Amino acid sequence: MKIYIVIFLTIFTLTCKAQSETEYLSKVQIEQDLAIVDDILQNKSSYQGLNGYDYRVDFNDYLNKVSNQKITQFDFGLFLSKTIGKIGDRHSYIKDYDLRDSLYFTLAFAPINDKVLVVDFVKDIKQYKLWNSKFPYLHSINNIPIEEILPQIHIGEILAPKDAYRTNAIRDLRDIETVFRTLKIDLPNPLQITLSDENGNKKEISTKLVDGKNRATLWDERFFKNTFRVKEEEYNDKNFIKKFFSLKDNVGYVQIGEMLEKESSPAFFEYLNEFMVKAQNSDAIIIDVRDNGGGTRDLIQELAGYFIHPDSIYVVNATKQRGKLPLDKELKESLHSRYLYSMNELDSEEQEAVDKFMNSFQPMYNLSKEKFSEYHYYILNGQKITKGKYHYKKPIYILANERSFSAASVLVSVFKDLPNIKIVGVNTDGSSGNSERFELPNSELRGKISTMVSFQKNGKILDGIGTEPDIVIERNLDQIFMKEDYQLNRLLEIIKTE
């Protein structure tokens, strides 16, 4: 018994010591890790240098400062995240420098127009309401205007499309300790906040911060969707899958929460095809990719079999891969898995379509032929992808929002401006990069960077720009409160009148 007590006390003592002692990185350790990052950015990153940002200037400035400072993993991670974020690569990140939070708001926050709405979750009815009906908007925290705070919350995403950045930053105000730590400001408790009304009148309130158990329910539309946190095996359960499809008032509706892989989710693809047969005589079809964080391009290919005329060929995406030339087998296979092929891998008709496309294609960046491969194209060839399917000739609507990301944003971009198809909702959080991960030995930070530059049909890249809708439908107050899906209902009204 005494032995167990001794062991317990030893573990407890070591744990307390680990929690109370802060470990610092030496300048040599930081130099070594930065050298690794520099090598990765110089030789693998596809977006480094495109927007004119020179990260090496910040690296050198940082190294000059660390000689006289004690640098923690958090400090270093914050710096690296901010630096990588300025490159404009939406798939890039730096992780594992976050500290455990202990203080949170008891109120949540949601975006509406150009304001920050303060809301409260009502558990009994699973809806939100205004936290203060007379003063519904957040003006400042600790006398710092909210518009000064928001751009500093997600430093790694600072070049995300405006709507995407703002939504994520506003939601995460709830985790106020993380926010203040990022701002490098001491966090008082209770904390002063200033609310405002439509006319700019203000009201100061003192709010007590709480621990994780008593924190507010984060405002997040994903939590209220059938597609949120679905297990892989559930996508192969037909009884479960049915909830993502409906045919009401002769309008087909397909909710896609993830860009699923055909090989691992055969039942979903089978049901999708069965549904498309049922919807053949419908008046319109809606494909909903709101809050879809991405995956593979398999669903794009599957849907295109119905949406593309059998006699048509479209070039819908052009990319260039960073890497040692000629590209090795592994990189080629990663491009092929995205349905991307070089000119000499296409048939004669597809090559002709590429020639016509390139005559008017004006990429926003001219990439180095020494560093990047030749173009690889995503081709929708009706003769190849429509076999065993029919051509859906009625209107098709792709419903997207600022959290349609990665392969979901590619889907939106691919189908935009094709016959009978309209994009609805708000600008997507565009991204397409063929990512590669890395780890740093001294700081033990993990990171990711893109190795491919992906162009939309209009010549713009996806990253940091996204795709604009043809029909703008933003959330209304009832959708923010989770009382209705206003964007979907408004689209259904539009369909009825067209």
How many other CB atoms are there within 10 angstroms of residue 123's CB atom?
7
Which of 219, 250, 274 is the C-terminal boundary of a domain? 219
Q: Are 358 and 256 within one domain? A: yes
Q: Chunked in runs of 10, what are the mean pLDDT values of the chain (498 residues)?
A: 44 43 87 97 96 96 88 94 96 91 94 96 94 98 97 92 96 95 94 96 97 94 81 92 96 97 96 97 98 96 98 98 94 97 97 98 96 97 96 98 97 98 97 94 97 97 97 97 96 94
d(CA 398, CA 395): 10
d(CA 180, CA 172): 12
3-state secondary structure (DSSP) of residue 462: coil
Domain that holds residue 130: 108-219
Q: Which amino acid makes up residue 101?
A: D
Q: 383: Cβ–Cβ under 8 A, 6 or more apart, which residues?
A: 310, 311, 313, 349
Picking from 298, 120, 352, the residue whose alpha carbon sits closest to that of residue 219 is 120
Picking from 277, 228, 281, 275, the residue whose alpha carbon sits closest to that of residue 254 is 275
In a domain, 103, yes or no: no
In a domain, 13, yes or no: no
Q: 405: Cβ–Cβ under 8 A, 6 or more apart, which residues?
A: 90, 164, 292, 293, 294, 428, 429, 430, 431
Q: Are 251 and 282 within one domain? A: yes
Which of 219, 243, 269 is the C-terminal boundary of a domain? 219
**In a 10 Å sphere around its CB, with 0-12 CB exposed, 13-18 middle and 19+ buried, how is residue 59 labelled?**
buried
In a domain, 205, yes or no: yes
Can you give the pLDDT at residue 23?
85
Q: Are 175 and 238 within one domain? A: no
Q: Are 209 and 231 within one domain? A: no
Q: Are 366 and 489 within one domain? A: yes
Q: Are 455 and 436 within one domain? A: yes
Which of 182, 202, 219 is the C-terminal boundary of a domain? 219
d(CA 229, CA 267): 18
Number of domains in the chain: 3
Q: Are 331 and 464 within one domain? A: yes
DSSP state of 98: P
In a domain, 231, yes or no: yes
In a domain, 287, yes or no: yes
In a domain, 97, yes or no: no
Can you give the pLDDT at residue 232?
87
In a domain, 380, yes or no: yes
CATH number (domain holding residue 433): 3.90.226.10
To the question of pTM greater than 0.85 for the whole model, the response is yes
Q: Are 189 and 329 within one domain? A: no
**In a 10 Å sphere around its CB, with 0-12 CB exposed, 13-18 middle and 19+ buried, how is residue 36 labelled?**
middle
Q: Are 326 and 409 within one domain? A: yes
Q: Per residue in 428-450, pLDDT tens?
A: 999 998 999 999 999 999 999 99
CATH number (domain holding residue 197): 2.30.42
Structural element, H or E, at residue 446: strand 446-450
Can you give the pLDDT at residue 30?
96
Q: Are 350 and 429 within one domain? A: yes
Can you give the pLDDT at residue 21?
56
In a domain, 431, yes or no: yes
Q: Are 364 and 458 within one domain? A: yes
Q: Are 204 and 341 within one domain? A: no
